[in-house]
Chain A
Amino acid sequence: MQFDVDVWLKVGSYAGGGLAIGFGAIGAAIGEGYTASQANGAISRNPSISGEILKTMLVGQAIAESASIFALVVALILLFSPSPGHSFVNVWALFAAGICVGLAAIGSGVGAGYPAGAACTGTARQPSLSKRLTTNMLIGSAVCQTPAIFGLVISFILIYSEAAVKPLWPTWAAVLGAGLSTGLSAIGAGYGSGLVAGASCEGIARQPKAATVTTNSMLLGQAISQTTAIYGLLIGFILLFKSYPESTDLAPAMALLSAGICMGIGGIGPGIGEGICAHSAVKWIARNSEQAGVLSRTMLVGMAVAESTGIYSMVISLILIFVL
């Protein structure tokens, strides 16, 4: 059977659109469910301020939802907007755009649930701190969304770039690899940053005096948790914008696809691990803020070691792209 390129463009964009919102719906739903469960726990503890807790829950859920809205927007674009290019590379680019934004939304959605849940619990414990907690939650959740935004950026580039001039082999593998690299590596970073933000909301409610140092430690921990997502974005950009000699061999195409998969999956573990580490560090900096210096130092050393496998993945990806 032979179909013309217009048929394949529809196949690519509909399959990509379905996967975008399918993956994209996972994270936000789990995160918002966690927030709602914490809000219920908080209201049962302190029913007199149920209105304040409900408001905090809804604000937090709205932010957790944004990652999933990115996926919805891309899915609608893939369904209804005609592809700007008409080549078989565009077919793969549309499919990869859907996968990229969908996967990238998972971690940010789940992650943003933790600060929102901790802010609800904290509001029940210390009603007078509700404003401070909401501010901290908003900062923390906003940082959680950056990996999802990386996914959105790469998927817009995939949809609207003029890929038609590039040869189909091996460019199809490069665009798919770029989507997988950015999308998968965002999962760990989004989830990890969420854990850190949750610990800081909990810590501020316990020790309001240590609020400033807790927020600062949260931002440091989140920034480092996001490094592997930045590696994923970097590999994505390299895969998208490097030009490849045409070759109908299978091996060069698989090297590019494999580079994306390697960086993508390899970015998940360090992101989550660094998040767990910074979660604990921020929690104890809030409880014992005189020891903030030694705790930050230990956190940074621990995170640097956890980062190492992410760096190995990046090295293998770069070898796959540039050496082989």
Chain B
Amino acid sequence: MAIEGADLVKAAAFLGAGFAMGLGAIGPGVGEGMAAAKACEAIGRNPKEAGLLTRTMLVGQAVSESTGIYSLVIALLLLFVV
């Protein structure tokens, strides 16, 4: 079968989007889990500070989430814009 240039480019963009979002999801998933684990531990030791600890956890997780959102943006760019 003959593969045309435009078809090949589209196929590569689709594959790239899948790998970008898939691989990009690993790090934030693990990292946010670690942040939450430490927050649970800290609340277990010092339950009075639960509010402060939950807030810190969420801020830290939001920062850790950023690379996952970069991956999502790049995947959507590859699918719809490029």
Contacts and interface: CB of A to CB of B under 8 A. Distances in A.
Nearest to A291: B47
A313 B33 contact: no
A269 B7 contact: no
Interface of A: 188, 192, 248-251, 253-255, 257-277, 279-281, 283-285, 287-288, 291, 294-295, 298-299, 301-303, 305-310, 312-313, 315-317, 319-320, 323-324
Given A268-B26, A302-B32, 19 more contacts: A192-B33, A250-B3, A251-B7, A260-B18, A265-B19, A269-B28, A273-B28, A281-B40, A284-B43, A287-B44, A288-B44, A288-B45, A303-B36, A306-B28, A306-B32, A309-B25, A309-B29, A316-B72, A320-B79
B15 to A, nearest CB: 5
Q: Chain B contact residues: over half helix, strand or loop, or mixed?
A: helix
Interface in B31-82: 31-41, 43-45, 47, 50, 53-54, 57-58, 61-62, 65, 68-69, 71-72, 75-76, 79
Contacts, number: 200
Nearest to A288: B44
A260 B18 CA distance: 8
Contacts of A248: 1
B41 A269 contact: no
Interface of B: 1, 3, 7-8, 10-12, 14-15, 17-19, 21-41, 43-45, 47, 50, 53-54, 57-58, 61-62, 65, 68-69, 71-72, 75-76, 79
A316 B57 contact: no
B29 A316 contact: no
A268 B14 CA distance: 20
Contacts of A280: 36-38, 40-41
Contacts of B3: 250
Contact of A316 (B21, B31, B33): B21
Nearest to A315: B72
B54 A301 contact: yes
Nearest to B41: A280
Contacts of A271: 29
Contact of A277 (B22, B33, B53): B33
Contact of A268 (B29, B43, B61): B29
A298 B57 contact: yes
B19 A258 contact: yes
A310 B11 CA distance: 23
Contact of A298 (B18, B23, B36): B36
Nearest to B8: A250
A296 B62 CA distance: 20
Contacts of A323: 79
A3 to B, nearest CB: 17
A291 B48 CA distance: 10
A269 B43 contact: no
A24 B19 CA distance: 23
A259 B21 CA distance: 10
